[in-house]
Structure 1
């Protein structure tokens, strides 16, 4: 059986790498990207079961990425991450769901490793 595939998209590569490492411990094949634009340009979202998105990145913010994924009919499970307030994450989550995306959950930075692991377990159940 193939491992589920995850990509963590965050302009802070250390954060993306940490999420990817947790995902690998949970049984995922994972990769990182510091650019939402690169993810979209390569149409890499089509190759992943789970996409972890930081809402604020310099090249393309998470809201633009959410809209682009929805326009492409993305079927990946989405986890959104932000260092901003939870109200913003809830609003982005509502937008993602309203656009037909499969939003699994949100994480506020700094987050606990247990919270990441719990979301990833839900993604593969």
Structure 2
């Protein structure tokens, strides 16, 4: 069986916890970060297969983190999640894809079944 590791970064602790619970229910080992530094440290030791990435946070921007992931030649599937301007998040997803990442978009607020469906998708 393939190991499934989900790394979540979201400054909203309640939402991050919700994503963690859904991830565990979908069979993932889950690590949650609420700040960019935590995320970067966890990434290096956790080796995620899927990343749920909030686009707008107080200490960083999702575009910066996407570029950081590009620089590391990440093969994990990335789920860009945002409740901010949907055009911004969709543009970020397109940018990440253009730079070689496997990126999908999930609009906040999302339904649990939408999150479950995204987590159950096979990597492209």
TM-score with structure 1 setting the length: 0.90
Question: Following TM superposition, where does structure 1 have runs of at least 4 consecutive aligned residues deviating by more than 6 angstroms?
Answer: none
Equivalent residue, structure 2, for 1:50: 50
CA distance in 1, matches of 2:4, 2:11: 23
Classify the secondary structure of the residue corresponding to 2:121. helix
Classify the secondary structure of the residue corresponding to 1:115. helix
Aligned residues: 124
Equivalent residue, structure 1, for 2:112: 113
Equivalent residue, structure 1, for 2:21: 21
Matches within 5 A, 1:1-125: 1=1, 3-44=3-44, 47-103=47-103, 105-123=104-122
Q: How far off its partner does 1:38 sit?
A: 2.2
Deviations 1:67-98 (A, max 9, x none): 01001111111001111122112101111011
Deviations 1:11-56 (A, max 9, x none): 0111111011101111111121101232224543761000100001
The gaps in structure 1 that reach 5 residues or longer are none
Q: How far off its partner does 1:61 sit?
A: 1.1
TM-score with structure 2 setting the length: 0.90
Q: How far off its partner does 1:106 sit?
A: 1.2
| 2:77–2:123 CA contact under 8 A, matched in 1 | no
